[in-house]
Structure 1
Amino acid sequence: MIDRSTTADAIYARAQELLDAEGLPGINARRLAAELRCSTKTLYLHVGSQEQLIRELVARHFAALRVEFEEADTWQSSALRWCQAVRHQLLAHPHLSELMTFDDRTAVISYVNRLLRILLEAGVRDQLARECCRVLVHTTISMTNAEIRSSSLAVKAGLPAQTPDIFDSAIRWIIAGVDAENRAAT
């Protein structure tokens, strides 16, 4: 029998809080059930396995996000601001960001579509604009997750969390390459 006092939304909300505070170890079934004062069976009936819980946490997080960035005068500056805004949101929830997989890419599609529109309106060729968006989102997520892991490992080793500030440079180089390719084709 399902415990009617514990809802899926309550489970996801508490799991997100524990994940933000403690990382993946904080959201095991026994701990979560104890926190919510329900049985582990109730958890499994409402949200499924831990992997299903994680995938839904990622999906809910990105569905609720509002990646805000101001469009600039050029598509290049807008693209940089977009990447910085996505990075900022990933850094705000490092444990959740680390759990993202390739299958979670649909969670950021609406943000990518906004960037794609900016590139197309600026005259970047369709196929090049799409490839640029794929590379920018992949680079943004990958570099941010590498930064999160590096920081986490440093903290575990008792070292200060220091990461080289190369994100903006890498994004600018990608944008410059796309701009050069787009100009060469016209």
Structure 2
Amino acid sequence: MGDEVPVGLARLWRLPTESRLGRPAELDVERVVRTAVDLADRDGLAGVTLAKVAKELGYTTMSLYRHVGSKEELLVLMGDAATGPAPALPAGPGQWRAGLRQWAYGIRAQHARHTWLPHLPISGPPSGPNAVSWMDACLRALADTGLGWAEKVGIMTLLSGYVRSSSQLSLDMAEGRRGSGLDQPQVEQAYGRALAGLVDAERFPEVAALFTSGLFEAPPEPAGDPELAEFEFGLDLILDGVAAAIRAAQSTSTSTGS
């Protein structure tokens, strides 16, 4: 079986890719990936190159190619390692919403722990053991909903994309505020004041009404973290859509008697 699996995928699943006699090698995929993740946590994705990883490990760059075929493969390995295994979710009839909510918050927490993770290039569908565990957890949360496979995969893709884009936006905005000394409400207030004097009400009537509404001048202050409140608002919209899809599927099933 191992011979049929592409080398990169075998390394991702930690399958043996070649037989070795004698003493075990001091360097392996696990050490390379762990070092690369530590570098990314410290210096961001830009700080991760094969040469820098090799230097951290005390080896030559060429020695890494026995364990990682390319920078692109290393990024895939790093992403799966940093994502970690999925947590146990609420399961059973009627538990899909709680399960998907916990699933989304779990991914968001990993993004906060490894801030480079949501900016990692996507090279394909989930393929590593940790990524597949999150995939399986999401599908299990939807198992008793009556939805078909295409609908369940679509929901998973939509939800994971929302969490990723939300994390990216939060991190990018935090980076943009760095050095300004302003928090997000102050940034929004300055934005509203600047644009209010530029937007022509005849050309952009709704936007002009927005800027004169006072929303940016005195933005509402939800209890707790405003970014968390924004995330929760978007998440609820998606889950409400999932609920509508489930009702439609169950209604169709009832009407056809299947």
Using structure 2 for the length normalisation, give the TM-score: 0.59
Q: Does 1:67 align with 2:58?
A: no
**RMSD (Å) for aligned C-alpha atoms:** 2.7
Match of 1:179 among 223, 243, 246: 243
More contact order relative to length (CA 8 Å, sep ≥ 6): 1
Match of 1:93 among 114, 130, 137: 114
Structure number with greater Rg is: 2
- 1:103–1:159 CA distance, 2 compared to 1 (3 A): farther
Structural mapping, 1:107-186, within 5 Å: 107=128, 108-121=131-144, 123-126=145-148, 127-155=150-178, 157-159=179-181, 162=184, 164-165=227-228, 166-185=230-249, 186=251
Contact 1:80 1:168 in 2 (8 A): no
Q: Which runs of 5+ in 2 are unaligned?
A: 1-24, 185-225, 252-258
* Deviation (angstroms), 1:88: 0.9
- 1:16–1:181 CA distance, 2 compared to 1 (3 A): closer
Q: Which runs of 5+ in 1 are unaligned?
A: none
Residue 132 of structure 1: SS of its match in structure 2? Answer: helix
- 1:9–1:75 CA distance, 2 compared to 1 (3 A): closer
2:173 and 2:35 mapped to 1: Cα distance?
Answer: 27
In the TM superposition, what whole-angstrom CA distance separates every residue of 1:120-165 from its partner, at most 9, and x where no partner exists? 31x342243332222112212222233233333433x555675733
Identity of aligned residues (%): 23
Residue 47 of structure 1: SS of its match in structure 2? Answer: coil
Match of 1:44 among 45, 62, 65: 65
Give the count of matched residue pairs: 179
- 1:12 paired residue number: 33
Using structure 1 for the length normalisation, give the TM-score: 0.79
